[in-house]
Amino acid sequence: MDALNFIDGRHVPAQGGEWIENYEPATGAPYGKVASSDARDVQAAVAAAQEAFPAWSSLPAQERSRKLRAVARLIERDKDRLARAESIDCGKPITLAATLEIPRAALNFEFFADAATQSATEAHPAGDVLLNYTLRQPLGPVGSISPWNLPLYLLSWKVAPALAAGNTVVAKPSEVTPATAHLLGELCNEAGLPKGVLNLVQGLGPKAGSALVAHPGIKALSFTGSTRVGREIAVETAKRFTKCALELGGKNPNLIFADADLDQAVDGTSRAAFQNQGQICLCGSRIFVERKIYGAFKERLIAKARALRLGDPLDPSTEQGALVSRQHFEKVTTAIETARSEGGKILCGGGVAHLEGRCKNGWFVEPTLIEGLAADARTNQEEIFGPVATLIPFDKEEEAVALANSTRYGLSASLWTRDLSRAHRVAGQLHDGVVWVNCWLVRDLRTPFGGMKESGMGREGGLDALRFFTEPKNVCVKL
Ligand code: NAD
């Protein structure tokens, strides 16, 4: 399948006629092409978004809501097709895509379809002398740049609130996983979304992405991706005072206290370490365990990791698929070598997984657990973004909190305890934007989502997203 741009309601190749090869991670072989766009394509998409903005922004909220709900229904209807496309494109287990990620993309559209009709603004009356009220107006064409790990889910997480608030959008999906964005274009037309309201520009970050960031017609930019690229985007957008939200990398801690329900903690910690081959920004890659239960917890976690079914992502029973690209596969396997050279002891995994048949050249890495490394070792400081997690014992609560807070990241954390007071106390002390107690990756779309420190700037979700995509204007009336 070739992935084209979707501009002004039409699928089109890049104006320069250039293409990028698209690989299937499970086989390591190319299976399609991606339009390699440049500034000309971005210009066409922004022009379409500008043209569509007056009519879209002045539609009654109910009308916008209806269109977004129609998109949600079509994603649900085509769930299996989209899940298959995403599984082939990313190497992720098809069951994970079909049961979790694609349904969540539909839910994002549905949630913001509701939000469009439910949001209100503030008034500040001062007796019968003055009335101040706040208008929250859409900004115009806005930009979205998203990564490869949850392609449709993270794209819809930005696009849906932007559209609900009355903006038009130019979105750049990852060049590594362009398939479901291409298919979303078709669904938008079928849903009756007016042309130019959502435009998708495929292609490379430094070419298509940077042209979008630099375009003066883009009134706000929402970015999810690495801290390195986020920093560049923050600098570029600051030059024009363009509003910018950044959801970046993480090195998330998992704290397991001795009083935790061990079954739940082992299960949750394993999912947090290995779901989607560890390629979720929220994955818990640093596991801190109270020394009293360290040995028992470690044995059970190793057994769980060894039992994960690694295989062809298109097999419905597969729990661990392939890593997304050769480049990323090399990054992760190099990180495991670094852990070894730092003196880490490999408890399980630790290498490339060799499959038979059609997957024999795929980019598979075994779920890997490592112990014996200091908290300030590179392995415990740098984001690996693969199926690799480390274990470190601790004795005291304060020590656990200090270890958890000891990186430049601050995206999310999980803590496992039956002690209610401790749960609230520790949650308050962690320098992370999202803290889960006795669970992991449970999402309520109304809650603020985002990171502290070098994990980002700004929040997504619910009201925060609608506020990001609107400009507050105070109107002061003398009565
Ligand atoms: P990346 O930063 O390499 O790329 C992300 C997107 O930015 C892609 O679409 C890419 O083409 C584009 N891009 C790259 N260079 C650009 C440039 N100079 N100008 C404009 N756009 C550019 O990240 P990735 O490898 O695709 O994704 C993995 C990273 O994303 C990890 O660090 C992960 O933690 C992070 N992530 C964060 C969250 C979150 O919510 N905080 C969610 C998912 C992923």
CATH number at residue 216: 3.40.605.10
Same domain, 328 and 389: yes
For residue 32, give every residue at least 6 positions away whose Cβ sits within 8 Å of its Cβ, in sequence order, or none: 1, 2, 3, 22, 179
Measured in Å, residue 324 CA sits from the centre of ligand 1 at 13
Cα distance between residue 295 and residue 300, in whole Å? 9
Q: What residues form DSSP beta bridges with 348?
A: 369
Nearest protein Cα to ligand 1, atom 8: 174
| Inside any domain, residue 279 | yes
Tokens standing for residue 9:
């309601």
Q: Which atom of ligand 1 is nearest to the CA of 455?
A: 41
Measured in Å, residue 146 CA sits from the centre of ligand 1 at 6
Same domain, 470 and 395: no
Please give the DSSP secondary-structure letter assigned to residue 308: S
Measured in Å, residue 194 CA sits from the centre of ligand 1 at 29
Tokens standing for residue 336:
């495991």
Same domain, 171 and 314: no
Q: What CA–CA distances, in Å, run from 403 to 225, 251, 293, 446?
A: 25, 12, 18, 30
| Inside any domain, residue 408 | yes
From 149, 227, 242, mutation site for ligand 1 pocket: most ligand atoms within 8 A of C-beta: 149
Tokens standing for residue 464:
């925060």
Cα distance between residue 129 and residue 160, in whole Å? 40
From 42, 90, 218, 224, mutation site for ligand 1 pocket: most ligand atoms within 8 A of C-beta: 224
CA 378 to chain centre: 24
Tokens standing for residue 414:
């999980």
Which residues does ligand 1 sit against, CB inside 6 Å?
A: 145-149, 154, 172, 174-175, 205-206, 209-210, 213, 224-226, 229, 232-233, 247-250, 281, 383, 385, 411, 451, 456
Measured in Å, residue 173 CA sits from the centre of ligand 1 at 10
Same domain, 310 and 223: no
Same domain, 23 and 126: yes
Q: Which atom of ligand 1 is nearest to the CA of 232?
A: 18
Same domain, 304 and 387: yes
- Give the residue carrying structure tokens 């400081």: 381
Closest CA to 440 of 248, 256, 247: 256
For residue 218, give every residue at least 6 positions away whose Cβ sits within 8 Å of its Cβ, in sequence order, or none: 46, 141, 142, 143, 170, 212, 242
Measured in Å, residue 470 CA sits from the centre of ligand 1 at 24
Q: Which pLDDT score is estimated for 227?
A: 98
Measured in Å, residue 396 CA sits from the centre of ligand 1 at 36
Q: Which atom of ligand 1 is nearest to the CA of 147?
A: 26
Burial class (CB in 10 A: 0-12, 13-18, 19+), 228: exposed
Are the beta carbons of 256 and 296 closer than 8 angstroms?
A: no
Closest CA to 75 of 199, 190, 224: 190
Q: Which pLDDT score is estimated for 1?
A: 83
Same domain, 405 and 261: yes
Helices 397-404 and 420-429, axial angle in degrees (round to 10)? 30
Of 281, 319, 359, 454, the active-site residue reads 281
Residue ranges making up the domain that contains 110: 5-248+455-478
Are the beta carbons of 297 and 288 closer than 8 angstroms?
A: no
Nearest protein Cα to ligand 1, atom 19: 210
Tokens standing for residue 348:
């399980």
CA angle 358, 360, 362 (to 5 degrees): 95
Measured in Å, residue 473 CA sits from the centre of ligand 1 at 32
Measured in Å, residue 226 CA sits from the centre of ligand 1 at 4
| Inside any domain, residue 450 | no
Q: Which atom of ligand 1 is nearest to the CA of 212?
A: 20
* 18 carries an active-site annotation: no
Task: Indicate which CATH number applies to the domain containing 376.
Answer: 3.40.309.10
Same domain, 205 and 326: no
The count of domains in the chain is: 2
Q: Give pTM, 2 decimals.
A: 0.98
* 244 carries an active-site annotation: no
| Inside any domain, residue 62 | yes
| Inside any domain, residue 239 | yes
From 5, 92, 145, 434, mutation site for ligand 1 pocket: most ligand atoms within 8 A of C-beta: 145
What does pLDDT average to in each consecutive run of 10 residues of the chain (479 residues)? 96 98 98 98 99 98 98 98 98 98 98 95 96 98 98 98 98 98 98 98 98 98 98 97 98 98 98 98 98 98 98 98 98 98 98 97 98 98 98 98 98 98 98 98 96 98 96 97
Same domain, 226 and 292: no
Q: Which pLDDT score is estimated for 265?
A: 98
| 79 residue type, one letter | K
Q: Which atom of ligand 1 is nearest to the CA of 203?
A: 11
Cα distance between residue 241 and residue 42, in whole Å? 20
Q: What residues form DSSP beta bridges with 207?
A: none
- Secondary structure of residue 460 in the 3-state scheme: strand
Same domain, 292 and 311: yes
Nearest protein Cα to ligand 1, atom 12: 205
| Inside any domain, residue 290 | yes
Cα distance between residue 454 and residue 407, in whole Å? 9
Q: Which pLDDT score is estimated for 368?
A: 99
Q: What CA–CA distances, in Å, run from 93 to 81, 86, 387?
A: 14, 9, 14
**Residues of the chain by 3-state class (helix, strand, coil), percent to 5:** 45, 25, 35
Cα distance between residue 361 and residue 267, in whole Å? 31
| Inside any domain, residue 185 | yes
Closest CA to 298 of 306, 387, 383, 336: 306
Q: Which atom of ligand 1 is nearest to the CA of 250?
A: 34
Cα distance between residue 142 and residue 46, in whole Å? 9
Are the beta carbons of 208 and 37 closer than 8 angstroms?
A: yes
| Inside any domain, residue 449 | no
Same domain, 169 and 274: no
Same domain, 244 and 256: no
Of 24, 247, 366, 460, the active-site residue reads 247
Q: Which atom of ligand 1 is nearest to the CA of 383?
A: 32
